[in-house]
Amino acid sequence: MTTVFPDDPTPLARAAEEHVSLARKVESIVQLPRPAQTRVFVVANQKGGVGKTTTTVNLAAAMAIKGLRILVIDLDPQGNTSTALDIVHTEGTPGVYEALVEGESIGTLVQQCPAHESIQVLPASIDLAGAEIELVSLVARETRLDKALQSYLHEAEQKGERYDYVFIDCPPSLGLLTVNALVAGREVLIPIQCEYYALEGLGQLLRNIELVKAHLNPKLNVTTILLTMYDGRTNLSSGVAAEVRQHFGGTVLTTAIPRSVRISEAPSYQQSVVTYDPSSSGALSYIEAAREIAERASGQKREAQR
Ligand code: ATP
Ligand code: MG
């Protein structure tokens, strides 16, 4: 590999070199492989502000620009995912509440993302805030999203419009909304912020996932951990990253998402960083993370076929 700064390994030079190398890698991705069947990811961590929404939005956008068909479910009453994808979600807008509580079909509730033809979004409005309590008294309260989603995915497949990936963005809690997501999903993606206290509460999340797996959804697995807001200049970030990799091994994606102002600015323009600033390190990292996720699936398939 050519070295941009051969004799000058200062942190800035190293960062520039890494950026160039990442840009080359990402440029070479023309189309991501389609999975054999729809992969349903639950993006969960009950800790607030760790990058669940940012990850959902940017992985969806990265996969869409690389040729995949995506459904995004905003399961957080804050509706940040809907905002970032430029989806109408003012109070009273039909969305995930109607699917969960009123049993409406998801097909009548999804909206097309204006920036990406191949992303459909099931939005969340503030009405969803009441669902956590309303669900308690409903029949099959934990499995309502699963039922609605399976029926919609089947319907889409029948029409020749099969989704490649579904991303469910969870709220920062372990209540019934998150449980519904864990029952509806097959894979859990946990974003971990490279900050102090990052691992606190993780044990509780993993125990909840095990409970759901034991009683409600045996097919559920934590397949992916993504390090977010990584700042290679600080010992704290690299220390947290090393600890997470030691604990969780190969589940952790090689790509870590850097702390980047462009990533945090993008939602205020109702955009993902992938469209807002495609050559930024944030955009490149999310595309590279998407490639890892997509290629892991084809790797697993090859393993299974042996
Ligand atoms: P909540 O628990 O409230 O749903 P969350 O886990 O979904 O939060 P985000 O909303 O994605 O977290 O991110 C929290 C804040 O951090 C946001 O302001 C977001 O723009 C910012 N942020 C996320 N990732 C990065 C990053 N890599 N670099 C800089 N800022 C980031
Ligand atoms: Mg969020």
Q: Give dist(CA 33, CA 165) in Å, integer.
A: 11
Atom of ligand 1 nearest to the CA of 267: 20
Q: At what angle do helices 144-158 and 176-184 cross, to 10 degrees?
A: 40
Q: How confident is the model at residue 25 (pLDDT cuts 50, 70, 90)?
A: confident
Whether 9 shows a pLDDT value over 80: the answer reads: no
pTM of the model: 0.94
* Centroid of ligand 1 to alpha carbon of 172 (angstroms): 12
Q: Tens digit of pLDDT for each residue in 236-268?
A: 999 999 999 999 999 999 999 999 999 999 999
| pLDDT above 50: residue 304 | no
pLDDT reported for residue 246: 94
Give CA–CA dist 242/245, Å, rounded: 5
Q: Which residue has the higher pLDDT, 119 or 232?
A: 119
Question: Can you state the percent helix, strand and coil of the chain, rounding each to 5?
Answer: 50, 15, 40
Nearest ligand, CA 57: 1
- Report the phi/psi class of residue 85: left, alpha or beta, with left for phi > 0 and alpha for psi in -120 to 50: alpha
Per-residue pLDDT averaged across 266-276, rounded?
95
Best residue among 56, 264, 273, 286 to mutate for probing ligand 1, ranked by most atoms within 8 Å of CB:
264
Q: What is the pLDDT of residues 75-104, one digit of tens each?
A: 999 999 999 999 999 999 999 999 999 999
Task: Report residues whose beta carbon is within 6 angstroms of any ligand 1 atom.
Answer: 48-54, 76, 80, 172, 228-229, 257, 259-260, 263-264, 267, 282
The DSSP bridge pattern shows strands 119-122 and 111-112 to be: antiparallel
Read off the pLDDT band of 222 (50, 70, 90). Answer: very high
> Scanning the structure block, which residue is given the tokens 């600033």?
277
Instruction: Give the start-to-end residue ranges of the domains of the chain.
Output: 34-305
State in words which class domain 34-305 has.
Answer: alpha beta
Q: Return the ligand 1 atom nearest residue 228 CA.
A: 27
Considering every ligand atom shown, identify the ligand nearest to the alpha carbon of residue 49 and give its number.
1
Task: Look at ligand 1, atom 14, and give the residue with the nearest C-alpha.
Answer: 49
pLDDT at 109 over 90: yes
Looking at every residue in the chain, the average pLDDT score rounds to: 92
Question: Is a pLDDT exceeding 60 seen at residue 3?
Answer: no
From 42, 43, 45, 54, give the residue whose CB has the most ligand 1 atoms within 8 Å, as the site to mutate.
54
**304 versus 286: which is more confidently predicted?**
286
Residue among 42, 53, 205 whose CB has most ligand 1 atoms within 8 A, to mutate: 53
